[in-house]
Amino acid sequence: MKDWVDIAGINNGPLFRPVNRWSQVQTKPLNPGAINDLLKNLGKACQFDFLPDLSSHSFRRGLSTSAARERIDFELIKKQGGWKSDATVWEYIEEGQQFSDNAALTLMEKMTQFIVIP
């Protein structure tokens, strides 16, 4: 990312920008459709099996989950994601934590202590 920022001469504004046919980096952001196309092409190249669900929105939601896991301040997460509603951010965070804060997982971990493999 640092190389891209340096090469593109980005000091502020959007990180992901279109490049015109003369290889000039524009100041406006890439549109969501272009980002989604890029992600789908990368996902296809990586042979991901969840391509239909892959979108820029996936990364935006993932930001809230990952940031909350790292105990980043809620207001900072909300600001970075551009959300106006606290409820939306909490919904994303809670949905992302459903597997890490899972009663069944805790139970399974405790049960493995009693399994003896000869």
For every residue of 70-83, DSSP letters joined together read TT--HHHHHHHHT-
- To 5 degrees, how large is the angle CA 25–CA 43–CA 82? 60
Least confident of 53-62, 87-96, 108-117: 108-117
Question: Would you list the domain boundaries of the chain?
Answer: 49-113
Place of tokens 């790292």: 70
Q: For the chain, how big is the Rg over CA atoms in Å? A: 20
Amino acid at 96: G
Q: Work out the pLDDT band at 100, boundaries 50, 70, 90.
A: low
Does the pLDDT at position 118 exceed 70? no
**Do 100 and 69 form a contact (C-beta atoms < 8 A)?**
yes
The continuous run of DSSP H or E covering 7 comes out as helix 2-8
Q: Is 46 exposed, middle or buried (0-12, 13-18, 19+ CB in 10 A)?
A: exposed
Model confidence band, residue 98 (pLDDT cutoffs 50, 70, 90): low
Structure tokens at 74: 């809620």
Percentage of residues of the chain with pLDDT beyond 70 = 81
Tokens of 61: 């939601």
pTM for the full predicted model? 0.52
pLDDT digits over 18-46, tens only? 989 998 999 999 887 888 888 888 888 88
Beta bridge pairs of residue 25: 19
The stretch 34-60 carries a mean pLDDT of 79
